[in-house]
Amino acid sequence: MRSIWNGAISFGLVSIPIKLVNATENHSISFRQIHLTDGGRIRYRKVCEIDEEEVAGTEIGKAYEDADGSMIPITDEDLGSLPLPTARTIEIVAFVPAASIDPLQMDAAYYLSANGGPAVKPYTLLREALKRSRKVAVAKYALRGRERLGMLRVVDDVIAMHGLLWPDEVRSPEGVAPEVEVTVREAELDLADALMATLGEVDMDSLHDDYREAVEELVAAKAEGRALEPVEAEVPGGGKVIDLMAALENSVRAAKQARGEKSEEVSGGKRAAANAPVAKVTSLAGRKKSGGTGAKKKAAPSAEKTAAKKATPSRAPAKKTTARSTAKKSATKSTAKKTTAKSNTKSTAKKAAPRKRASA
C-alpha cells in the first residue's frame, strides 16, 4: 500500500519513524456528467471572473475571503513559517480508556507502519504497551495543511490511527430529541429486548453493499446492450404505528423466521425453556390481550386438565343428556297421577335409558 505521509511518532523521548497508509477505501461507483443530446462529457473549467479566461493550475493560489468580500492572498511560504511542531510528528499527549472517546468524533482511519529496521523495536514496544494497558493514545498531527487530533489503537499486530474531530467541531444535539415526553412500559421494553436477542449478532465480514452490486450489474448490462428485468422494491409500510406491542410481537416472529427458527405465538400458554426471555415477554402480551391474570389462567389450563378433557370427551354431552332426563322425569311424575301402572312402567323405562347413556 502506498504511504500518504512520512513522519514519526513522538512517545515521550522515544521517536518512532513511521509511514501513514490509508486503512479504508471507497468502493462507491462514480458517474460522469454528459450532454444528453450528443453524450459529450461535461467538464468544469476554472475561469477567472475578472478577465473571464481559463486559468491553468500553476497560476492558481490560495486566499482568505474577508467579511467585506476582499481576498487576502496566503502563500505556502506563509503557512510553512507558522510554528507547527506536529508538521512531521504524531505527538502523543495522553493515554485514556477507549470508552472516553466519543464515536461522534471518529473520522478517517489509517495504518501506521514502521519505517525502517531501527523503528521496529520502539514500534513493537508502543504496540505491546497499548495492548497491555487496554488504553488508546490521544495524539496531535498535521496533515494536508492543518493540525488534527487522532487516536492510536492496536488492530491485530498493527498500530492504527483514527482521525478525530476537535471537540468544538461536534455539534450539540439540541432540538433533535423528541419534544413530547413519552412513557415506555416494561412490557414494551421486554418485547424490544426479545427482538434484540432474536436478531442476535452478525458477522461484519458477511455484510456487503447490495445497491453497489445492482449498479455494477446495470452498467454491465448496458455495456452489453441487454436490458435488465425490473425488480419491484419492497415498499415499507407507511402510516402511524397503532399498536406498538403488536408491531414488536410481529417483529420478533419475523426475525425468528428469517433466522430459520420455529415461530411461536407471542401470547400466554406453553413456554419453551430455551426461550425463557421471550416466554416472559409473551406472557405479558397474553395478559394484555386476555384481560388479566384470571383470563390468562383460563386460556392456559394445566397439562393434567387438558389431558383429562381429551380422555373424557363425553362429559359435556352427558350434562345435556342429564338435563333432558330431568325434564322427562318431571313430566313422567305429573303423568303418573293420571295414568295407569302400565304407563308408569313405560315412563320408568324412559328414565333408565338416558342414565345408561350418560354413564356410558
Q: Which domains does the chain have, with CATH numbers?
A: 3-40+81-169 (2.40.290.10), 182-201+241-306 (no CATH)
Q: Could you read off the pLDDT of 202-235 as tens digits, one per residue?
A: 888 888 888 888 888 888 888 888 888 877 766 5
Give the chain's radius of gyration (CA, Å): 40
Instruction: Report whether pLDDT(360) > 60.
Output: no
Task: Report the pLDDT value the prediction gives residue 116, as an integer from 0 to 100.
Answer: 86
State phi, psi for 106 to the nearest 5 degrees.
-65, 135
Are the C-beta atoms of residues 301 and 200 closer than 8 Å to each other? no
Q: Could you read off the pLDDT of 103-138 as tens digits, one per residue?
A: 999 989 999 999 988 999 999 999 999 999 999 999
Cα-based torsion angle of the residue sequence 145, 149, 155, 157 in order, rounded to the nearest 10 degrees: 70
Average pLDDT over residues 241-264: 71
Instruction: Report whether pLDDT(242) > 80.
Output: no
Comparing C-alpha atoms, which of 5, 256, 11, 260 is closest to residue 108? 5
Could you give the 3-state DSSP secondary structure of residue 331?
Answer: helix
Instruction: Report whether pLDDT(154) > 90.
Output: yes
Task: Report the pLDDT value the prediction gives residue 236, as an integer from 0 to 100.
Answer: 56
Contacts of 332 (CB under 8 A, 6+ apart): 344, 347, 348, 350, 351
pLDDT tier for residue 65 given thresholds of 50, 70 and 90: very high
pLDDT tier for residue 317 given thresholds of 50, 70 and 90: very low
